[in-house]
Amino acid sequence: MERVYNFAAGPSTLPLDVLKKVQENLLCYGESGMSVMEMSHRSADYSAIRDGAEKALRELMNIPDNYKVLFMHGGATGQFAAVPLNLLNGSGKADYVLSGVFSKKASVEAQKYGDIAIAASSAGANFSFIPATTRESFRPDADYVHICFNNTIYGTRFPYIPDTGDIPLVADMSSCIASEPVDVSKFGVIYAGAQKNMGIAGMAIVIVREDLIGKARENTPAILDYRLAAENDSMYNTPPCWSIYITKLVCDWLLENGGLEAAKARNEEKAALLYDYLDHQDFYVAPVDAPSRSMMNVVFRTGDAELDKLFVSEAAQAGLKSLKGHKAVGGLRASIYNAMPKEGVEKLLAFMKQFAQNHSQQ
């Protein structure tokens, strides 16, 4: 069986070069005589992998020295709880921007711990755009403001970084981390589940400004406490060793291929192929307002649920897999993360054109 083009939203396609490297070293990593899966996390070999992952991520994202990089268990959903437990420690208030399913989940989780307000929302427009905010949108005594930078399900991305004044800005970047350069210093915390653009499931990457560490609530589970993670180089307990290893290889691959400026150029080119086509035809509907469009998750539909289904199955037969939209919105979605080659998008585009031609009324 040949490899297909995998457009899944996450877990998602990995760079082929990374998979080959994994395969090469699967039974015996370097001079260690064992697989990375079998290594003690306290061994010198594994320490080099963990340190290498952090170093590569810092270089890739240009992370300032006053930020800690943590590799934590529990994916992005673990961070929905970790963020309020670690940061909701002043007024006990936090403001959330509602822009889709995951920001909603994050806010509902935070409600267990404090006074959570919705500062802005596009729920009334089926999350088809990113709501505008100003400094006045946020309560001045909020402990933090939370946004979901790229909305994986609705296919939107923040076209701006909210101005929160002195209030720390927390961003869920699960589906857009390392897709383009970002100014880390504008954020208090950036977190991401690794399985979309950075590796495999089971881990959250957390980039946190140092002054926000060490003030967790007393009843914070040890596994979610940023201070314990930071003081122990993310090894307070056995870390997600294999996930950290894959993330290191993904970061190395991005660095070898020109870093985030080059990644951005590749991603813009891929997204433009699809959006330019969608804008100049009338078979498919692309529901997202142009300025809010995601570069990673391209959402569209035919307008006929049965036809969407047929699209998904015929595409799969053509080696283009996992194009079904999320169950919350239906329709179709192409996730075109860093690891999706341009040829994959070109094949998809050709398929879309052919499908439209075959099923047009005229």
Ligand X SMILES: *Cc1c(COP(=O)(O)O)cnc(C)c1O
CA pair distance 240, 216, nearest whole angstrom: 22
Which pair of structure tokens corresponds to residue 323? 């194009």
Residue 138 is a binding residue for ligand X (CB under 6 A): no
What is the closest distance, in whole angstroms, from the C-beta atom of residue 252 to ligand X in the complex? Answer: 22
The answer to whether 251 and 257 have CB atoms below 8 angstroms apart is no
What is the closest distance, in whole angstroms, from the C-beta atom of residue 174 to ligand X in the complex? Answer: 4
Residue 76 is a binding residue for ligand X (CB under 6 A): yes
Residue among 83 and 320 whose Cβ is closer to ligand X: 83
Q: How far is CA 74 from CA 149, 194, 343, in A?
A: 19, 10, 34
What is the closest distance, in whole angstroms, from the C-beta atom of residue 1 to ligand X in the complex? Answer: 27
State in Å, rounded, how far the first CA of the chain is from the last one. Answer: 38
> x-or-dash pattern for ligand X, window 97-136, by CB under 6 A?
-----x----------------------------------
Residue 325 is a binding residue for ligand X (CB under 6 A): no
* Chain residues 158-217 in contact with ligand X, contact rule CB under 6 A: 172, 174-175, 193, 196
Which pair of structure tokens corresponds to residue 331? 């329709």
| Stretch of residues binding ligand X (CB under 6 A), selected from 74-82, 117-125, 126-134, 158-166 | 74-82
Residue 338 is a binding residue for ligand X (CB under 6 A): no
Helix (H, G, I), strand (E, B) or coil at 228: helix
What is the closest distance, in whole angstroms, from the C-beta atom of residue 157 to ligand X in the complex? Answer: 10
CA pair distance 236, 223, nearest whole angstrom: 8
In sequence order, which ranges of the chain are alpha helices (DSSP H)? 16-24, 44-61, 75-87, 101-110, 226-231, 241-256, 259-279, 305-317, 342-359
Using CB under 6 A, list all residues that contact ligand X: 10, 75-77, 102, 148, 152, 172, 174-175, 193, 196
